[in-house]
Amino acid sequence: MACDRADIPAVVQRRQLAQQDRQPPRLQPRCQVPDWFHDLRADAAIDYRVARDVLDDSMATRARLAATFEVAWRRIAEANTRCAPFDTELDAAHDAVKHTEAAQRAAQQRLDQSGLRGRRQARTDLATANDAVTGTRRMLAVTREQAREPHAQRNIARAQIETARDALRTHDILATWQYFPEHLSAAEASVDALNTWHDWATGKPVTQETLVEAVATLHEIAAHEPDNSTQQLANVIHQWAEQHGMELTWPVTQQHRSIESSVGIDL
């Protein structure tokens, strides 16, 4: 028993050494993370959420407008189906009026050109033609009255689908001009670039391809926002790459080096 107790510290020590061997190596920072970096990354995250919300709202609005258009489309289709028999009757009634009016004009012309012997028959023919015109016009009026309500409903449906189509078209035009998806993509790229920079600065493994992409994004942000501090973050990576013989896409300008020295990011 005494021998077993004497071996306990050695066993514990071997276990501790084995655990230490299994632990990942401690990260070695490549440069310091400036105090203002966290505010910069928080602002980028806010910009991303705003861009995401704006795009979501735009897509939700479009979905609502598209649904309204679909409802209006179904209503106009139903109204056309309901009006089809009345349209057919109206077309027939209009044709009948045109036919009898043409016959009336012909009868009037024969009367005007008739002599004494044919005048009585011409008057009889004209009276018959006049009665036919009166009858077809009366039938047309009755048919119009029967079609009045279905046609009124179709007019409402037509106005609704035109309004819905205009609203959807206007939304799509404005959405195209406002570049919502592009703004979201740029905001997402900014967040990714800042996260990559932080991973790189704190010593985490970062592939060269990912680093180059992050540097490119940081340069793009700096080009559009001269007062943004992203240029200084990109410059630190350039300096580190030069020291380690790594080629990156954008070289650092002398102006940016002087700015960098004032923010206190040490490699």
One-character DSSP codes across 48-75: HHHHHHHHHHHHHHHHHHHHHHHHHHHH
pLDDT, position 246: 76
Q: Which pLDDT value is given to residue 257?
A: 35
C-beta separation of 237 from 200 below 8 A:
yes
Which long-range contacts does 246-250 make (Cβ < 8 Å, 24+ apart)?
Answer: 246/208, 248/211, 248/212, 248/215, 249/212, 249/215, 249/216, 250/215, 250/216, 250/219
Give the 3-state secondary structure of residue 80.
Answer: helix
Query: CA-CA distance, 157 to 161, in Å (whole number)?
Result: 6
Quick count: other Cβ atoms within 10 Å of Cβ 204? 12
pLDDT at position 15: 63
pTM of this prediction? Answer: 0.69
Give, for all 267 residues of the chain, the pLDDT tens digit. Answer: 444 444 556 655 666 655 555 556 677 898 899 999 999 999 999 999 999 999 999 999 999 999 999 999 999 999 999 999 999 999 999 999 999 999 999 999 998 888 777 888 989 999 999 999 999 999 999 999 999 999 999 999 999 999 999 999 999 999 999 999 999 999 999 999 999 999 999 999 999 899 999 999 999 998 888 777 888 999 999 988 888 777 776 544 434 333 333 344 554
Please provide residue 247's backbone torsions phi and psi, each rounded to the nearest 5 degrees: -95, 125
What pLDDT shows up at residue 261?
34
